[in-house]
């Protein structure tokens, strides 16, 4: 056998790489449909929808990202809502891209229930830019972790939508991703079916920490923050395990606390 042939990759590897390259070229060259308006676009969100829906100025609580109610006066820097001042949650800060409302809520549902995983990368890119521009994230993250799903939901859905955001986000920020940092130690009812008080009790002891977080700044990633009960329970577990700081990175935030 020719010695040079021993150093050549197998044909199946060459074909696999060629197919992957062709797919990337096609994705760049051929337009897709905007995930919001359905018009042809070379990006997940077209320029028109990007300008229309992603750039609303909102004053948000730096702790829980709850938006300041219209008509209320508040400082744009360091604003804390009444609830976070009265009873500080276990997490230290929250960054959210936008409110959970039409039409952006459709993106979260498409990612969560219809496996449109490109939307996870879209959210990740926007969260990376937001984190880079925000004072709350200047204390560099030591690790990024998704909020874990219950086993039954993973088995049914086949993926964790929070991980679909966290994985590309970690790459963009150059931070270590820990997909199994948190584990569910209790099966819980879907939070969306419960009232606020029941949500807190539903997840109060749902999480355990599987890796060392002592003295670390942990970024927790989820698709939607509603009452904040799930993220609070996860942050409580992390703080109990010695985490120095916990920052939530969420795609969308409900406009009021339920």
Domain harbouring 114, CATH code = 3.40.50
Does some domain include residue 30?
Answer: no
Residue 70 is assigned to a structural domain of this protein: yes
Write the pLDDT tens digit of every residue in 173-214. 999 999 999 999 866 555 455 455 555 554 557 899 999 999
Task: Calculate what percentage of the chain has a pLDDT beyond 90.
Answer: 64
What SS3 state is found at 197? helix
Residue 226 has pLDDT above 70, yes or no: yes
98, 36 in Cβ contact below 8 A?
no
Q: How confident is the model at residue 68 (pLDDT cuts 50, 70, 90)?
A: confident
The answer to which of 8-22, 23-37, 212-226 has the lowest mean pLDDT is 8-22
Nearest by Cα to 148 from 173, 193, 182, 113 = 182
In a domain, 43, yes or no: no
Q: Find where tokens 């909102």 sit.
A: 58
Average pLDDT over residues 127-137: 84
- Count up the domains in the chain and report the number: 1
Count the Cβ atoms, other than its own, within 10 Å of residue 220: 26
In a domain, 40, yes or no: no
Q: Where are the alpha helices (DSSP H) in the chain?
A: 3-6, 11-29, 47-53, 82-86, 104-114, 118-132, 151-157, 161-173, 196-203, 229-240
Owning domain of residue 190: 63-253
Q: What percentage of residues in the chain have a pLDDT greater than 70?
A: 75
Do the domain assignments include residue 10?
no
pLDDT of residue 6: 46
Q: Give a yes or no: residue 29 inside a domain.
A: no
- pTM for this structure? 0.81
DSSP string over 207-245: EEE-S--TT-EEEEEEEEESSSHHHHHHHHHHHHTT-SE
Helix (H, G, I), strand (E, B) or coil at 161: helix
Is the residue at 9 inside a domain? no
The pLDDT of residue 194: 47
Q: What is the pLDDT of residue 30?
A: 53
Check if the beta carbon of residue 63 is closer than 8 Å to that of residue 79.
Answer: no
Q: How confident is the model at residue 245 (pLDDT cuts 50, 70, 90)?
A: very high
In a domain, 121, yes or no: yes
> What backbone phi and psi angles, to 5 degrees, belong to 203?
-115, 10
């Amino acid at each position: 056998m020719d010695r040079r042939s021993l150093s050549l990759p197998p044909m199946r590897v060459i074909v696999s790489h060629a197919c992957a390259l062709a797919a990337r070229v096609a994705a760049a060259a051929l337009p897709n449909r905007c995930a919001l308006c359905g018009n042809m676009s070379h990006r997940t969100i077209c320029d028109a929808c990007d300008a229309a829906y992603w750039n609303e100025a909102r004053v948000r609580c730096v702790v829980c990202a709850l938006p300041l109610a219209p008509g209320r006066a508040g400082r744009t820097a360091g604003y804390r809502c009444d609830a976070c001042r009265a009873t500080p949650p276990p997490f230290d800060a929250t960054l959210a891209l936008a409110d959970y409302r039409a039409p952006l809520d459709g993106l979260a549902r498409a990612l969560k229930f219809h496996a449109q995983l490109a939307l996870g990368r879209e959210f990740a890119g926007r969260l990376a830019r937001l984190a880079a521009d925000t004072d709350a994230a200047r204390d560099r993250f030591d690790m990024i972790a998704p909020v874990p799903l219950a086993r039954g939901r993973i088995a049914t859905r086949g993926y964790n939508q929070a991980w679909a955001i966290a994985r590309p986000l970690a790459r963009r920020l150059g931070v270590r991703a820990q997909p199994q940092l948190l584990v569910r130690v209790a099966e819980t009812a879907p939070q969306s079916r419960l009232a606020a008080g029941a949500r807190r009790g539903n997840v109060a002891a749902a999480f355990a920490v599987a890796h060392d977080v002592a003295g670390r700044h942990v970024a927790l990633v989820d698709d939607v923050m509603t009452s904040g009960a799930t993220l609070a329970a996860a942050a409580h577990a992390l703080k109990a395990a010695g985490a120095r700081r916990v920052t939530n990175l969420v795609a969308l935030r409900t406009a009021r606390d339920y």
